[in-house]
Chains A and B, each alone.
Chain A
Amino acid sequence: MLDYIKSYLGSSTTPGQAGNTFWASVYILLIFLGLSVAVIAMNWLERKILAHMQVRLGPMRVGPHGLLQPIADAIKLLIKEDIMPSQADGFVFWVAPIVVVITAFTVFIVVPFGPTHAVTDMNIGVLFMLGVSSLSVLGIVMAGWASNSHYPLMGALRSSAQMVSYEIAMGLAVVSAVLMTSLNQTGTGTLSMIGIVQSQQVQQVWFAFKFFPLGLIAFFVFAVAMVAETNRAPFDLPEAESELTAGFHTEYSGFRWSLFFLAEYSAMIAVSSIAVTLWLGGWLRPFPHLLSGSTWDLVFSLLAGITFLILGLMAFVGVFRMPKHPYFRVQTIGLAGFGVVLGLIGLLLFLPPVRDRVQDIFWFSAKVAFFMYLYIWYRGTFPRYRFDQLMKVGWKVLLPVGIGVLILTAVAGVLL
């Protein structure tokens, strides 16, 4: 058994490919935990960033600067009464959030956090991700139908139409990225997530900047389609609060609702991961050629630790800005403790063995975090599209642009 566990350690593939069930399970567990933490953090960050964009403070009461607010909310949701409308279709109503959550989590099997940091590497990785994530529309339609109520029904119809139409534009953008991977001696491309990043490494360019501006346009098409795909502002019609109260999950509450919430955020992270993998070089660090050499390698590898140290420092600034009232003593100590933890993580990341293993994950997460910030920014800035305009943007703008970019990419690939 121990040998079986140890046998993987020297391997240079993912545990899935190495056929090592133990390490695959460990990775799945780590991803699950990491994702849950990310969703909690995202919940807090979204509320805080949005609040600061809107000249208010956001959560401030539960824990210092509301840091414990997501946890308090989670507890509240878990202990709420489980309500099912009397006219609802019980089984479908029960199964819908589960379908949505399972699809949202399953896609992470192939997300490459590093050359070996994925549960497995499929040779159809991108297809798998697109296919599985598009299954979530099934759960949404089920939720809308089973609720047996008008608002959820309309939300579900909108959502299915929206996701189906934007998947096409998204797929076209993905194809042009896949096409770019085939620009090598053998002329064979790859659909494997790890393979795509590796071919960006070999070609020495992130695909977003390949065949300028073609790669950038395809990236843009994908970036728009992925916001629509995850039903976020400005394409949040299915859950348009001001029109359909809460859209497809109007009738859901408590734990079932929190499953939808969890699925929405993990889907956001999932599509951002696809975008990062396809266009922004996955786990690769920026400027590998402009700033090359061992000194720069060292500098970039230290950035992960530095980031955490800065976060810890920010926590300590917060400590000194806390009101000096006895009421806030516990919170101040808590915030200081949080800062210490962040600082220690930062210091830990400076250790050479850790540093080398973690910097792939760091760069990947940092790029995903950038997309997460964009999501919040969009939400703070844009009004909401109307249904017909949404369809128009999808079919009449993104689809032709996607096809055009695909053709031009093919031509450019042949000629250049």
Chain B
Amino acid sequence: MSNPPNTLAPSHQDLSGHDQTFLDTNELVLNMGPQHPSTHGVLRVVLKLDGEKVLGTECIIGYLHRGVEKIAEHRTYAMFNPYVDRMDYVAAVSNGLGYCEAVEKLLNVEAPPRARYVRVILTELNRLASHMLWLGTHALDIGAITPLFYTFRDREEVLKIFEKYCGARLTTHAFRIGGCLYETYEGFEREVKKFLEFVTPKIGEYEELLTTNRIWVERTKGVGTISAKDCVALGVTGPVLRASGVKWDIRKAQPYAAYADFDFEIPIGQSGDTYDRYIVRMEEMRQSLRIIAQAIDRIPEGPIMAKVPKVIKPPVGEIYHSIEAPKGELGYFIVSDGSTQPYRVRVRPPSFVNLQALDLMVRDQLVADVIAVIGTLDIVLGEVDR
């Protein structure tokens, strides 16, 4: 039986092999995605396999491309704000924070202290939500189906706080250029404190299911290892970089919002394998709780919005501002030509950059590891494709 010529990856030298018949002992080219249960959206990975062993991969992206960066050129600065939420829809608050701060820098405005504290609280809550979603889906990919439901149950509490604050659960549009539009609602502090009390033991609950589980350890230890050098060379950031032992967190390195005021640790790993990334993210969740607790205690009174002109017209110039999103360094490069609309907005999405490490991490490992590594990279395709 002859197969049609392989058209899966015509551009890739390695993958356009000569597998013309079914009975040869050629490498198997397996198309994983874009409709696959565990590629976290519409990622398509073409795998070249020797039995179960992965000889090479190629990521094919763009199935969720919406031209967000191009749209920015036809919207005013304020109008573009809601669009950034749709990139990393799991961590919409972080996206909004990065964009608002970038434009504020361009305008030379600074958000008032209270607004900055609210921003920190919401962003850290969002980090928790994002890491919970990551944990659930990552565990599901490795075959543990139960943590997913636990994490979604607890993530729901974060979303409830968001909903009460700004009316939206996922694409929050919580911040505005110059501060926040909404004052915190009645009982906000009490509810956040209650949430902290609620969620602290829950993180232990997830760890109980996984951290010392033999199968989990075997499936993640030594899988998808990436060295610190490779991480830096590829521009990988976030928990993936820290798990390889590089102590780089923009919240500490170039503090933004109110992060300079808080006392928290940067968890790092040593071996840079999937297990270390898991441990680093779990610890990050605890550190986020610490930051929220400090912020909620010290939140200052005062205005929530800085004086920003009605029509935002930044001076001619360009700015690059980056923040530590849950997935890594999220940067905005904005060029202003002095009009009401940006001349160019370029987003540096952490998922997109981290995804590049996939091939390096899964080479010579097994098919099941590809799934584990895609999960551990914590990508969101909305952000990869924009």
Give the residue name and chain of the A residue nearest to B140 (CB).
Answer: A242
| In contact, B38 and A242 (Cβ under 8 angstroms) | yes
| In contact, A386 and B37 (Cβ under 8 angstroms) | no
Query: Which residue of A53, A148, A381, A386 is within 8 Å of B368 (Cβ)?
Result: A386
- Indicate whether B30 reaches chain A with its CB closer than 8 angstroms: yes
Query: Which residue of A154, A233, A383 is within 8 Å of B139 (Cβ)?
Result: A383
- Indicate whether B145 reaches chain A with its CB closer than 8 angstroms: yes
| In contact, A389 and B367 (Cβ under 8 angstroms) | no
- Indicate whether B182 reaches chain A with its CB closer than 8 angstroms: no
Contact with A along B124-156 (1 / 0, CB 8 A): 000000000000000111111110111001000
A390 to chain B, nearest CB (A): 10
- For chain B, residues 96 to 147, give those with C-beta under 8 angstroms from any C-beta of chain A: 139-146
- For chain A, residues 224 to 277, give those with C-beta under 8 angstroms from any C-beta of chain B: 233-234, 236-237, 240-243, 245
Contact with B along A32-66 (1 / 0, CB 8 A): 00000000000000000010011110000000000
| In contact, A240 and B1 (Cβ under 8 angstroms) | no
Contact with B along A361-405 (1 / 0, CB 8 A): 000000000000000000111111111110000000000000000
The docked-state distance in angstroms from the alpha carbon of A55 to that of B366 is 33
The docked-state distance in angstroms from the alpha carbon of A243 to that of B38 is 7
Query: Which residue of B36, B145, B368 is within 8 Å of A380 (Cβ)?
Result: B145
| In contact, B218 and A386 (Cβ under 8 angstroms) | yes
| In contact, B149 and A242 (Cβ under 8 angstroms) | no
Q: State whether A386 and B146 are in contact (beta carbons under 8 Å apart), knowing that A234-B215, A242-B38, A381-B209 are contacts in the complex.
A: no
| In contact, B30 and A385 (Cβ under 8 angstroms) | no
- Indicate whether A357 reaches chain B with its CB closer than 8 angstroms: no
Give the residue name and chain of the A residue nearest to B36 (CB).
Answer: A245
B90 to chain A, nearest CB (A): 19
Give the residue name and chain of the A residue nearest to B149 (CB).
Answer: A54
The docked-state distance in angstroms from the alpha carbon of A241 to that of B150 is 20
| In contact, A243 and B149 (Cβ under 8 angstroms) | no
B340 to chain A, nearest CB (A): 47
B247 to chain A, nearest CB (A): 30
- For chain B, residues 212 to 229, give those with C-beta under 8 angstroms from any C-beta of chain A: 213, 215-216, 218-219
The docked-state distance in angstroms from the alpha carbon of A44 to that of B302 is 57
Query: Which residue of B22, B52, B143 is within 8 Å of A383 (Cβ)?
Result: B143
Give the residue name and chain of the B residue nearest to A237 (CB).
Answer: B368
- Indicate whether B28 reaches chain A with its CB closer than 8 angstroms: yes
A43 to chain B, nearest CB (A): 17
Q: State whether A389 and B218 are in contact (beta carbons under 8 Å apart), knowing that A242-B38, A245-B37 are contacts in the complex.
A: yes
- Indicate whether A329 reaches chain B with its CB closer than 8 angstroms: no
| In contact, A242 and B143 (Cβ under 8 angstroms) | yes
| In contact, B139 and A386 (Cβ under 8 angstroms) | no
The docked-state distance in angstroms from the alpha carbon of A53 to that of B1 is 47
A353 to chain B, nearest CB (A): 46
Q: State whether A380 and B146 are in contact (beta carbons under 8 Å apart), knowing that A148-B1, A150-B28, A388-B366 are contacts in the complex.
A: yes
Q: What 3 A-B pairs have minimum CB-CB distances, sorted nearest first?
A: A384-B143, A54-B149, A242-B38
26 contacts between A and B (CB under 8 A): A53-B146, A55-B149, A55-B153, A150-B31, A154-B30, A154-B367, A158-B52, A240-B368, A242-B140, A242-B371, A245-B37, A379-B145, A380-B145, A380-B146, A381-B209, A382-B143, A382-B213, A383-B142, A383-B143, A383-B215, A384-B143, A384-B219, A386-B366, A386-B368, A387-B368, A388-B366
Q: Which residues of B contact A (CB under 8 A)?
A: 1, 22, 28, 30-31, 36-38, 52, 139-146, 148-150, 153, 209-210, 213, 215-216, 218-219, 366-369, 371
Q: Which residues of A contact B (CB under 8 A)?
A: 50, 53-56, 87, 148, 150-151, 154, 158, 233-234, 236-237, 240-243, 245, 379-389
